[in-house]
Structures are given as C-alpha cells and as structure tokens.
C-alpha cells in the first residue's frame, strides 16, 4: 500500500502559472499528432539516449501550454517559459531575444535539445534566473537559442524541471548540468528538492489557473493526503518521472502492472496502442477524422465509466467528465462545437516497450502532483476538481 505522507513543511515558494490559448493548427498537424511525436521521442531515449537526442522532427506545437513568467539577467528580462517535467534544460530565445546583462556569462559550450514536438540549438550561458522573489538562482545554466522549431510567440522557451539525467549529452562535453531545482537546493534557497504542481481545469483558452511550488507543497491546493509512488526501474520510463500502474476502464483491464510517465509537456492521456484499442472498444467510441481523437454520442457519454489508474495501492479515477475535452474549446482543436471528444488517445506504439502510458495535463488538471527528486518519487492527491463536471 502507498503510505500517505504528511505535508512537507520545509520553507517553500509559490509562483503562478498560466494557460495559453491553443495555436492555430499549421501544415495539417493536430493536437494528437503533436503529442504522438513527443511520445516517439520520449520512448526512443531507452535505446540510445545520446544519439537519438539530436534527432529533429519538425512538428508545430498546437496544444495548449502552461507557462511561467521567469526573469533572466540583472536587471531581469521576463520570458514566458513552458513548464516541462519531461525535460531538464532551461532555455530562452525562441520568440523574445536574450538580453545580456552584467550577470550573463557565455561558457562557449554548444547546447542542443530535441523534444519530438520541437527543438532548439544555441549556446550555453550562466545567468541569474528569477522564478519569483526570493527565488533568484545565481549562475544557472541556460541555453540561448540561435535556432528553434515548434515554438512561437508568446512562448519564449522552456523551464525544465525533469530529472537532471535528462541533461546528459545536451551541453558540449559536460556530462550533466544542474537544473533549476538542483541549484535552488545547493544555494540554500530551498532545503528539499520537491516541486508541487497545481493545475485547474478551465473552459477558457487563456487564464492564470495554476501554481508551481518549489521546496515543498501547497496544502491549500489539494484535499486529503499525498500518496507517493517510487520512480520505476523500467527503461525508458525510469529516465523521467516514471511510475508503475494498472489502468482499468470499468471492469475492463486496459493495462496491467506497466510503466509510464507523468508529463506536463503532453496534453492528452496516451495509452499503448493495444490498451487504447481496449478502451476504444469498451467505450464504443469512433475516431474523428478531423481531430484524430475519439468521439462519442451523448448516449455513450451518459454510459461512460471511470478510467482508473492504480499506483502503489491507491486508485486515481478520471470520471466520465474528466475524460472529455472541454466542449467550449472544441473548435480550437478542429472539432465541431457540438461534438464530444475524449482526451484518452493512442500512444502510437504497443505495450511492452518500457513506456506504455503518458499522463498529460488533462489528467494533472484533476489531481495535485508532486515531484520529489530527493526521494525519487512522484506523488498525487485529490483536489476539488477531481470530480467536478466543468467540461
């Protein structure tokens, strides 16, 4: 059984995060294709991480994006950075040009990172990165983009909060580079490498509806207690914030005792192809040709059952309402205003490859999540949105 853990009471700092509206789809790419291209890259890391890290796939990001306003330099220039648990490099310069100040120092090292749904390359600098007062990190390694793909205004880059091992091979000949969380701990700003993330489901395209907490958790953002799950030893899921789970739809077993990841850079809930087919059959859904997502009728929606994710003895249920895309945002993804689209979709690869599911932000909007580097674990707690019917 997972043991509920008392709130982490070390000094912690909260910063607001905002959800940006969906971009207009370009070149025929859909929200699902964006997520599947990212999934291909995440899965490839288990075979040859260093070689495949440099593979470039030109896909335009059409998903909604959660960003934080981050200051870089002295005085600081503010950048809108995507919050990404699936990568660990922090970089700027995709839209707004990097401004050098008295605290900016080029290391001369090249830096390159590919995300499947985009990439950037440029030069490594060290600089002061301000997440909020007093979260100012001195000498933080950042990438300054000379070239980037898949990123457009107002998105300026990425705030990488994944495990430090994901920086391996990205910067010159440096084995790894410390993440923002590593440096907050080493500089004494926080005493434990823990990040809490609160997202809130919304029917609006652009809104400040989330919070990042560094150094602990915000007990006002969840109900009950947090239950933790150890990072899986299965590769490649174990390179990320990966855990083992069973997934069940009603009485139908979708996936049994398998590894996958929690990823804020993914929008949908992705299941291995064979598991997805079991879910599709059980719901009676059909594939929509415009969005690529599953669609259901009103009668099928009324018959939907919970989709249960069981990890370490605790079950986290996506209710029927939590399994559908917000209907007020249907047209933003190429759907019809009256359609009902499911947020559960096809990972694009069969189970048994070491990464059989991805829990994107449509899952995370229903649960508080905790990323504990110190103890190598991921935690979840229910929120007031776990059973809400806002979609």
372 is catalytic: no
Q: Exactly one of 263, 288, 346, 372 is catalytic; which is it? A: 263
Rg (CA), the chain: 20
Task: Give one DSSP letter per residue of 193-236, joined into a string.
Answer: -EEEEEE---SSSSEEEEEEEESS--GGG-SS-EEEEEPPSSTT
| SS3 of 154-166 | CCCEEEECCCHHH
What is the residue whose two structure tokens read 């669609």?
295
84 is catalytic: yes
Question: CA 37, CA 117: separation in Å to the nearest integer?
Answer: 6
Q: Which two tokens stand for residue 142?
A: 């950042």
Q: Exactly one of 23, 35, 84, 372 is catalytic; which is it? A: 84
Q: 158, 155, 65: which is closest to 115 by C-alpha? A: 158
Q: 169, 198, 166, 192: which is closest to 179 by C-alpha? A: 166
Q: Which two tokens stand for residue 373?
A: 């580097």
Give, for 227, the enclosing helix (H) or strand (E).
Answer: strand 226-230
Residues in the chain: 391
Catalytic positions are 84, 263
């Amino acid at each position: 059984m997972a043991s509920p853990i008392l709130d982490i009471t070390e000094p912690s700092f909260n910063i607001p995060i905002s959800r940006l509206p969906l971009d207009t789809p370009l070149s025929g790419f859909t929200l699902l294709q964006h997520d599947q291209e990212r999934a291909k890259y995440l899965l490839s890391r288990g075979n040859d991480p260093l070689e495949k890290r440099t593979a470039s796939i030109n896909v335009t990001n059409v998903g909604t994006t959660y960003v934080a306003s981050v200051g870089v330099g002295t005085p600081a220039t503010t950048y809108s950075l995507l919050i990404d648990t699936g990568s660990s490099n922090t970089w700027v310069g995709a839209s707004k040009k990097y401004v050098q100040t008295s605290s900016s120092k080029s290391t001369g090292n090249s830096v390159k990172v590919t995300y499947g749904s985009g990439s950037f390359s440029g030069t490594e600098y060290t600089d002061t990165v301000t997440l909020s007062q007093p979260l100012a990190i001195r000498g933080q390694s950042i990438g300054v983009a000379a070239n980037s793909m898949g990123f457009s205004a107002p998105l300026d880059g990425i705030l990488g909060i994944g495990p430090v091992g994901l920086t391996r091979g990205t910067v010159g000949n440096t084995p790894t580079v410390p993440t923002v969380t590593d440096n907050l701990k080493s500089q004494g700003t926080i005493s434990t490498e823990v990040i809490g993330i609160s997202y809130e489901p919304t029917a609006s395209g652009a809104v400040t509806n989330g919070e990042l907490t560094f150094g602990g958790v915000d007990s006002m953002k969840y109900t009950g207690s947090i239950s933790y799950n150890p990072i899986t030893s299965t590769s490649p899921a174990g390179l990320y914030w990966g855990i083992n789970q069973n997934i069940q739809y009603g009485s139908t077993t979708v996936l049994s005792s398998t590894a996958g990841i929690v990823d804020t850079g993914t929008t949908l809930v992705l299941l291995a192809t064979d598991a997805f087919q079991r879910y599709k059959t059980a719901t009676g859904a059909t594939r929509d040709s415009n969005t690529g997502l599953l669609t259901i009728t009103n009668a099928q929606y009324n018959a939907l059952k919970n989709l249960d994710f069981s990890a370490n003895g605790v079950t986290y249920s996506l209710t029927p309402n939590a399994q559908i895309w917000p209907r007020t945002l249907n047209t933003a993804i190429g759907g019809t205003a009256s359609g009902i689209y499911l947020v559960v979709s096809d990972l694009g690869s069969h189970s048994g490859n070491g990464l059989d599911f991805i829990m994107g932000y449509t899952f995370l909007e229903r649960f508080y999540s905790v990323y504990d580097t110190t103890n190598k674990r991921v935690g979840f707690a229910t929120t007031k949105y776990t059973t809400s019917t806002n979609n």
